[in-house]
Chains A and B, each alone.
Chain A
Amino acid sequence: MSDLLKIADKTYHSRLLVGTGKYKDFAETRAAIDASGAEIITVAIRRTNIGQTAGEPSLLDFLPPEEFTYLPNTAGCYSADDAVRTLRLARELLDGHKLVKLEVLGDPHTLYPNMIETLAAAKTLVKDGFDVMVYCSDDPIIAKQLEEIGCVAVMPLASLIGSGMGILNPWNLQIIIDNAKVPVLVDAGVGTASDAAIAMELGCQGILMNTAIAAAGNPILMAGAMKKAVEAGREAYLAGRMPKKLYSASPSSPTTGLIS
C-alpha cells in the first residue's frame, strides 16, 4: 500500500520522526534510529566545544546528513529572536537546508511553548523561505493561525515535553486534525507504544518523539515498538474503526444451526 507522508513537497515512508538526544552514546543513538525506521531526525544547534573536540567523533559521523532528513530545532530558545537566529545558523550549517522545527519555550519548569513568540518567529521564518514545522500548544485556534502563516506542518503537544504522560486531550487534537489543511503531527508527550497508536488512530499524519525511546529501559526495542505502533495506528485510522456501542445485539457467530 502506498501511503506516504508528505511535508513541503517531499514524501516519506515513515511517519515516525525521532530526536537524537538523551542516548547513552552515538552508537546507541544510531541503533535506535535504525530500529525506528525514521527518515526525519531532529538535531539541536549548540556552541562547538573549542579545544576539546579535535579528532572526537560527532553526531554527524554516526548519522550522515546524506542518509537522513535533518530537522534542526530551536530547543532551549525562549524568544522569537533567538529561535530565528538559531535556525539561520542551522541553515548555514546544513548548506542551505530549509526544513526546520520551530519551538519557542515559555517556562523552563514545564517547557510549555510560548505561542505569542512562536507565532512571531513563524512569520519571520516563513518570509525568510524556511519550511517550518512548528511545535505548539493544543489550541485549535493557534494551530489554524500557524497554518495560515504558512507553516508546512503543525505539531501540537500530546502532553509536556519529556513527561511521557501520553495523549491527555484527544478531543483538542481531533479538532486540530479536522480543521487542518497541512499535516498535523503529535510532538511531545508520548510515553509508550499505545500512546503512539492512539495519536495515529485520531488521524495524525505522524509523530515526533525522543524521550519515549531514549529513556526506555531498552531504547532499541522501544524504537521498534514505536515503529509498529505508528504503522498499526495509521492502518487502523485508514481502515476506519467500527462504531462504538455499549452492547451488541448482533453476535459474531451464526444465530442458527445451534444444537438442541
Chain B
Amino acid sequence: MQLIINGKPRSFDAASFTVAVLVQQLELVGKRLAIERNGEIVPRSQFEVTSLADGDKLEIVGAVGGG
C-alpha cells in the first residue's frame, strides 16, 4: 500500500498494518509524537488497533524549538 506521510508518498510491501507497526517501521519507537490520520487524531492508546489503508494521509508531529 501507499501512504502519504508528512506530505510525501511512501510505499510499503504489506497490504495493511496498524499505526503501531508504522511507528516501528519508521524507527520512531519511544519518540514523543502525535499522529493524525486523514485529519483525525489517533490517540496513542489506539495505535495497536488502528489499521491503515492504501491512500491514508498521515501527519506525524513532535515538539521543536519555537517562540
Contact = CB atoms under 8 A, between A and B. Distances in A.
Interface of A: 19-23, 29, 42-48, 50-51, 53-54, 58-60, 70, 72-73, 75, 85, 88-90, 92-94, 161-162, 208-211
A211 B65 CA distance: 12
B1 interface: no
Contact of A58 (B31, B34, B41, B44): B31
B63 A72 contact: yes
A89 B31 contact: no
A73 B66 contact: yes
B66 A21 contact: yes
A47 B67 contact: no
Interface residues of B, number: 25
For the residues of A in contact with B, the DSSP-based class is mixed
A89 B41 contact: yes
B5 interface: yes
B61 to A, nearest CB: 5
B53 interface: no
A115 B53 CA distance: 39
B6 A59 contact: no
Contact of B61 (A22, A42, A48): A48
12 contacts: A19-B66, A21-B64, A21-B65, A22-B65, A43-B65, A51-B27, A53-B28, A59-B63, A70-B63, A90-B34, A93-B32, A93-B61
Given A60-B32, A88-B41, A47 B60 contact: yes
Interface string B14-44: 0000000000001110011111100101011
B6 A47 contact: yes
A92 B61 CA distance: 10
A21 B17 CA distance: 36
Of the candidates B28, B34, B62, the one having the most CB atoms from chain A within 10 angstroms of its own CB is: B62
Contacts of B44: 92
A93 B42 CA distance: 11
A44 B65 CA distance: 6
Given A48-B6, A88-B41, A89-B41, A53 B31 contact: yes
